[in-house]
């Protein structure tokens, strides 16, 4: 069995690896590190959770051990699709460079330009960035990429999903043609294949698993759910989610709950908190400091449930996640693989459950076709319960809110109508020659007809009195 000590890494790097508690490389690490150390381009294809980050950080640190950085000209560049993934890569560099004098800078949104500019001006060996913030610094004249010796593109398929491919192509054009490129992705879409053919030179291809496979260590299941009414689907799905969590009991030590939309992330997190579950939301619209605080709480165990959009589905190193719940069926089948890959990592066992509604069945069929597996059906834990009329303390759905607004509008209209009647002088509302009150049925009809016709059925509230004369004459005849 291959060990890290067999991979010709720098002795100082090996010492840091040993202190971190690692001894044996994963298959992607064992395959990618040797050609990377030889200076060759590498194309790594592996599912999430297989240790791709160390596959490029370890050889990069060894190769950068000699030399010195110059101001505004980083020696290496790592591109990541999200702030969280970039921050995680930076943590990896801190772990493995603890015995070396290498500098780094992290360029992500939500952080002051001034602080980042100060780091770049001093010169950095490793620049870790998201594409947008990197180009912002370049266009401001604060950064030169002509000194890049090693360039890494991490989670390339996620870059494609997020629309970063034009930025990636531009960044490639700004770096030297002689650079070494390390390119990592979980799947190989045609667009990704085109980029690798264009910008990589005779790369060493390492593929440690079939594209878009799910780990054998993950127990999967799906609840085929149909709401009692369409406008109650959201609240009833949240009841099913809570029932699934409760059914797992102590086995569910912590969990990531994925939603397709940011608004559903917020609603689901708030709903769980209302029912006493320790939950918090994370998605792209939150402040960066809040996102990092939430992630840190989930990592250290102080937060049990992380409700997330797909911003947290890729590349985040959160070990020991016992469960993943797909509150929504992902729109893209590949995202299912990345979502459930948050559990069952590094040989551990994990559980992944999904709630599928009738309109999700097309996407669900695509998932089963992609993973070449029939996902076991789980019985709805609320099957024997009668549908709740409406959860009073749960978040209302959009349809509930719309109907509520409509009812309030009708109430306000009725109030204004009553106010107009109240403000009308008594002599106008009831003529002086109105018939005296009578208890007989015929007298009651006569009295209603003689009040300016206001109460004649079908004639409205403001019928002129002369129109009612025809009713009175017909009655008298």
Give the number of other Cβ atoms within 10 Å of residue 70's Cβ. 13
Residues 6+ apart with CB under 8 A from 450: 431, 433, 434, 435, 468, 472
Evaluate whether 46 touches 209 at the Cβ level (below 8 Å).
yes
In the predicted structure, residue 139 carries a pLDDT above the cut 50: yes
Specify the pLDDT at position 94.
93
Specify the pLDDT at position 66.
81
Average the pLDDT over 18-32 and give the result: 91
Q: What are 425-461's pLDDT values in tens digits?
A: 444 444 444 444 444 444 444 444 444 444 545 555 5
Q: How would you class 177 by CB atoms within 10 Å of its CB: exposed for 0-12, middle for 13-18, buried for 19 or more?
A: exposed
Which residue segments constitute the domains of the chain, with CATH numbers given?
A: 4-207 (3.40.50.300), 218-390 (3.40.50.300), 428-477 (no CATH)
Specify the pLDDT at position 338.
81
Specify the pLDDT at position 344.
85
Average the pLDDT over 384-397 and give the result: 50
Distances (CA, A) of 310 to 257, 287, 342: 10, 16, 11
The CA distance from 129 to 81, in Å, is: 9
- φ, ψ of residue 380 to 5 degrees: the values are -60, 120
The CA distance from 251 to 258, in Å, is: 19
Specify the pLDDT at position 473.
57
Query: For 123-175, what is the HEC assignment?
Result: CCCEEEECHHHHHHHHHCCCCCCCCCCEEEECCHHHHHHCCCHHHHHHHHHHC
Residue with tokens 């109460």: 455
In the predicted structure, residue 110 carries a pLDDT above the cut 90: no
Q: What are 186-244's pLDDT values in tens digits?
A: 778 889 999 999 999 999 999 886 656 777 889 999 999 999 998 999 999 999 999 99
- Kind and range of the H or E run holding 190: helix 190-199
Specify the pLDDT at position 283.
83
- What's the pTM? 0.65
In the predicted structure, residue 417 carries a pLDDT above the cut 80: no
In the predicted structure, residue 314 carries a pLDDT above the cut 70: no
Q: What are 41-81's pLDDT values in tens digits?
A: 999 988 766 788 999 999 999 999 887 878 889 999 999 99
């Amino acid at each position: 069995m291959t060990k890290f000590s067999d991979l010709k890494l720098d002795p100082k790097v090996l010492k840091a690896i040993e202190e971190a508690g690692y001894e044996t490389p994963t298959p992607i690490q064992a395959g990618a590190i040797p050609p990377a150390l030889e200076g060759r381009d590498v194309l790594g294809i592996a599912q999430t959770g297989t240790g791709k980050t160390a596959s490029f950080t370890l050889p990069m640190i060894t190769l950068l051990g000699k030399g010195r950085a110059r101001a505004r000209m980083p020696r290496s560049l790592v591109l990541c699709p999200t702030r969280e993934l970039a921050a995680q890569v930076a943590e990896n560099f801190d772990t493995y460079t603890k015995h070396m004098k290498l500098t780094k800078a992290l360029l992500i949104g939500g952080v002051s330009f001034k602080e980042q500019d100060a780091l770049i001006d001093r010169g950095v060996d490793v620049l870790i960035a998201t594409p947008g913030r990197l180009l912002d610094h370049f266009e401001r004249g604060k950064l030169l990429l002509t000194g890049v010796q090693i360039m890494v593109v991490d989670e390339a398929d996620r870059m494609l999903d997020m629309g970063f491919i034009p930025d990636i192509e531009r960044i490639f054009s700004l770096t030297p043609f002689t650079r070494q490129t390390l390119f990592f992705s979980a799947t190989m879409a045609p667009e990704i294949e085109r980029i690798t053919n264009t910008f990589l030179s005779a790369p060493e291809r390492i593929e440690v698993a079939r594209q878009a496979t799910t780990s054998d260590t993950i127990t999967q299941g799906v609840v085929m759910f149909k709401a009692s009414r369409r406008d109650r689907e959201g609240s009833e799905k949240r009841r099913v989610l809570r029932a699934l969590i409760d059914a797992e009991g102590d086995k569910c030590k912590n969990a990531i709950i994925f939603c397709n939309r940011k608004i559903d992330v917020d609603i689901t997190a708030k709903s769980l908190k209302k029912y006493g579950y320790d939950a918090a939301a994370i998605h792209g619209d939150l402040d960066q400091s809040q996102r990092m605080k939430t992630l840190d709480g989930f990592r250290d165990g102080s937060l049990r449930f992380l409700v997330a959009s797909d911003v947290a589905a890729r590349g985040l190193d959160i070990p020991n996640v016992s469960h993943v719940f797909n509150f929504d069926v992902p729109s893209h089948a590949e995202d299912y693989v990345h979502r459930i890959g948050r559990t069952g990592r590094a040989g551990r066992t994990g559980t992944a459950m999904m709630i599928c509604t009738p309109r999700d069945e097309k996407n669900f069929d695509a998932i089963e076709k992609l993973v070449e597996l029939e996902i076991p059906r789980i019985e709805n834990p609320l099957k024997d319960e009668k549908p709740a009329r409406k959860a009073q303390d749960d978040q209302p759905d959009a349809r509930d809110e719309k109907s509520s607004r409509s009812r309030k509008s009708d109430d306000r209209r009725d109030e204004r109508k009553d106010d107009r009647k109240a403000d009308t002088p008594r002599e106008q509302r009831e003529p002086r020659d109105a018939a005296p009150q009578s208890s007989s049925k015929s007298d009651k009809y006569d009295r209603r007809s003689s009040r300016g016709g206001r109460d004649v059925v079908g004639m409205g509230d403001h019928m002129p009195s002369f129109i009612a004369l025809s009713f009175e004459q017909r009655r008298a005849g």
